[in-house]
Amino acid sequence: MNSNDNEKSNSHTIQKQGFGTRAIHAGQEPDPTTGAVIPPISLATTFAQSSADTFEGYVYSRIGNPNRTAFETAIASLEGAKYASAFSSGTAVISAVLGILTAGSHLIASDAIYGGTYENFAKIAQKHGIETTITDLRDATHIAGLFKSNTKLVWIETPSNPGLRVIDIEAIAKYTHEHDACLVVDNTFMTPYFQNPLQLGADIVMHSVTKFINGHSDVLMGVAATNREDLHNELQYIQIYSGGVPSPFECYLARRGLMTLEVRMIRHAENSLQLAEYLSNHPQVTQVNYPGLKSHPQHELASRQQKGFGGMLSFSIKGNMGNVNKLFEHLKLVNIATSLGGAESLVSSPAKSSHLFLPSELKESLGITETLIRLSVGIESIEDLLADFKHALENAY
């Protein structure tokens, strides 16, 4: 068996293994020179070749790097994809996907999306001649009448940031493909552990790696995965020539983060459900958004297309912004910060941070009020988290 056959055999074997095994081993072999079980960080920007007109293996670090390959290989395995392309941020992935479209194209996006995604679609895309329709897609049938002859892309985020709204991926994929368009799913909140959009009909799945995939609040990075060679070639071309690639060190850290993704996501979800149940019964809390609660309007759908409910929730409290600030002030363990998905718990006010620049009418329809709080639930001891929120809510009024 030659080396290529051996690599294919190893890849096939890994794909049959469990999630946790693939998260640790996919794309990550011991170093052939030293035997190091964790591959070293390859900082070289350029790689020696055998002749002037032959380029083999790695050539230039913007085009490819061993650490980036290891990370991309692992993500592809975990998402059940043939290909993955890593970028310098989640927003760089959005830009790359938009780069696939040409002027005169039309895209449809769900209204419940990250504020930065909205900015790209509603403002930047339109500057480049891309028409955008942003609408509520909780009822999948609503999309049927929105397609045009030039519709090339549908983008959804499920569950959504920050309201945890759930969209039927399989149903949206069916409508999208009937119109020869491409479906992209932002899977950041769920990660490959809890949801695999490609298996439900999506063409591209993307993540802000910065969040749960890395999981330690120390990497800025994004990734897109697909089974379609044509889409992979386009994304790879944009990846190389737009220059929005992650550094070897960030790829190394993100690949390390993947090794504990399964155990972290289990703990994130366990803590989230207990906090959601606690907050649901608190007299000062008016609403809790978490698909794991049976009271969530799309709990049944979430249970069907997800393998779990994740580490994100949001909730609204009585009062006004002053009460939100008092609650935040009295949290001793949980920090106030705009990101999410780290081992530590974080709170933020979406109306004043991630979704600040959304039109007021859209914020209102999405329930993004000044008393809505987004909570990224960490993996601390649940007793300490419950005590922290009990203390903060008691002192918020």
- What distances in angstroms separate CA 39 from CA 56, 70, 314, one per listed residue? 20, 9, 39
Contacts of 216 (CB under 8 A, 6+ apart): 253, 257, 342, 343
- Which residue among 111, 152, 165, 186 is the active-site one? 186
- From 175, 189, 50, 62, select the one nearest 114 (Cα to Cα): 189
- Which residue among 152, 211, 264, 374 is the active-site one? 211
In the annotation, is 62 catalytic?
yes
In the annotation, is 82 catalytic?
no
Q: 21-41: buried (b, 16+ CB within 10 Å) or exposed (e) per residue?
A: ebbbbbbbeeeeeeeeeebee
For residue 234, give both structure tokens.
């386009």
In the annotation, is 180 catalytic?
no
- Which residue among 58, 83, 114, 175 is the active-site one? 114
- From 261, 110, 253, 105, select the one nearest 191 (Cα to Cα): 261
In the annotation, is 5 catalytic?
no
Q: How far apart are CA 239 and CA 223, in angstroms?
A: 10
CA dihedral 158, 379, 25, 28 (to 10 degrees): 90
Contacts of 312 (CB under 8 A, 6+ apart): 159, 161, 162, 164, 189, 272, 290, 340, 374, 375, 376, 377
Instruction: Name the residues annotated as catalytic.
Output: 62, 114, 186, 211
